[in-house]
Structure 1
Amino acid sequence: MNINQSNLLLTFLTVLCITPLFLPIYFYRFHTLNLINSALILLIFIIFITLNLLYIKKINILIVLSLCFFLWRFYSSYYISHGITDLNNIICALSIVLVFNFYSNRNITLLLNAIFILFSGLLLFNLLTQFIFPNGLFVDNPRSNLYRPGWLFGIDNAFIYYISPMISVIIFRSIYLYNRITLFTFFLICSSLISIFLAHSATGIVSLLLLYSLMIIYRIKSLNKIFNFISLSILYIIIWIFVVRINSFKSFEYFIVDLLGKDLTFSGRTRIWNVAFDVLKEHLWVGNGIGYTFKVSYTYFVAHNQLLQLIIESGLIGLVLFVSIIILVGNKIQVTKILPEKQVILSAIFIFFIAGLTETYPYTYIFLLLTIGYNLPIIMKKKEI
């Protein structure tokens, strides 16, 4: 693991420090543990905002924009729409930005080693629970007459929310420290594929296979300049319009129906999206509040699309703030010279939004990837020293 023994204690303490920020959804089912973890997250936030001010001595634009984005979500949800605050997830995401910003400027290797230990353990533990408890660790009952098995990472479609960023950061570390995919990293890649296939999640399978395909494509030097932040952004916009707005899937019928076992409405999501476009018009600028659901036929749903749900929750103001962060990070990635580490992070960010075409996820892990992307020039400079 290339962890110097003199840094062993620091690595262990760092693992303990970051664990509350990445605790899987299963643990939030326990009320007492949830309260303790929330208190720890708040403590981490206070500690690292202090450390950033004392030692880094500057608050960069990513921190400022992230703060604006989450404060707007809080304000628009609680004070304007009288909805929930989602304060725990907001503080958690901001803490991740602060933690990674601090270590990027101080000791990035220490943080990468700590994340490697934590994420490896969680990935393997989740896979183990799938084998030991094939019918689930718990039963999720989001509404009447709907019962779904859940494991450490939650229900089937939630797996990709954890697995994709976790395995991406693990691969990033392996290349950053060793300039190659280590044997244990390859073992984790295989484990992640087994886990996602056992979950039978069409979203997860497509997203993870696409993630690994992109990483392989990036190894082809002639394609490096073609697949960059700008081209992937344009590609995503086209896919989003084609899938979500136009609802045209005939060309993918064989893949969706025969291989993935889904219908051409993506299990009813096209009907949800059509209603969502009407709902977002009601409070277009400020949104309807975090976690807002709307009625489709006889049941209430979220939008099942990351960007649609963002507009419904936080309005166009929230969308503009979020897109500003994406552009800021994308510019940092774009100006970084072509390296495997750059392509790994770029692929991981792209895949989050691909998975978000048919699902809605919290913002914790995407802000981990965005913070790495923003600090990529500093991180790579330290590697060259």
Structure 2
Amino acid sequence: MTRKKSAKTLSDPTPAAPDAFAASAAAYDEASGSMFQILAPDGTLTRPDLLPPADVQLRLYREMRRARHFDERGWVLYRQGRLGVFPPFGGMEASQCGTAAALTGDDWLFPTYRDTGAALTLGLPIARTLAYWRTSPHGWAMPENLKVLPFYIPIATQYPQAVGAALAEKRQGTRNVAMAFIGDGGSSEGDFHEALNFAGALNAPCVFILQNNGWAISVPTRSQTKATNLSKRADGYGIPGVRVDGNDVLATWHVTNEAVQRARNGEGPTLIETVTYRIKPHTVADDPSRYRTEEDNAGWAEKDPVERMRRHLLTSGLLTEEGEGQLLAEVAAEFEAALKEADGYPDPTPAEILDHVFAEPTPQLVKQRAELLAEVDA
């Protein structure tokens, strides 16, 4: 499918008005191009015709609330010495939850270290996620019924691997897809470009999520590339590229759902750039005031994805203040139960560092494990 430069979505057969993205462009003051948007920052609808069913809207809001609660509690646990160095993602919930919500449990998810919200949305248990960020082996192995890879720390290596998983599903004759995340900085890595070319040439059922959150650690996007619309990088590989308001969960879900359906139908990969902002530090140990100014941050608090969706749901009558209070109580109770479970995990043994590396241990690993156990026994 040839990438269109109009505002229409991937499956919309009718041309969109030239100013369909005007509200989004004005809201973000982006001179570089338009972004697909359904919900404006003030909670009003720019494309009411594209509203998903009520149950989908409520699920998306619940997932964002779960993700935000994890992010906020993660900060507290870190300061208490009960969680390791953790990359916060507050403010990026729509970018992560809206995209991952388009998948099913049969699909693959390849998250970066900042995509805890996406993994939780697909079904990764909170207790196991806490164990992972505690560097505990109890969090290293993903559930057998969930195709989520451990959070990737190396930059961009997950992209070619996601293509491999997608091609494996294709050869097996399934309709399952693979979704991989990357940041704006990672899109300058060689693996990113190799993966897009690989997926395009072999028509892999893969959905690439490029979260443009403005920063690659301390380097702003404007410094690491002259490109101002990263979704256009898809053009060089003959695949569709879409630029979406990454703080609009309805828009991210809509665009991603269409891309997932394209992949399932054998129409190949899609690159989706979600334009958002890393409001929080790079990690809980980072001090962004050393490289980021108040001018850089200006206006982004008003674009908060959770508050935006909350306003819409309250205005539309799908949510009440009482209902939201109940939702927040349920989310908090779920987290505390998971925290109690994680606190109850037994202390790991030294040899567990060698587990969950290969499905079948190599002779070298078997030897190393035996040597380590002998040293511990001594």
Fold conserved (TM > 0.5)? no
Identify the structure with the greater helix proportion: 1
Q: What TM-score comes out, normalization by structure 1 length?
A: 0.28
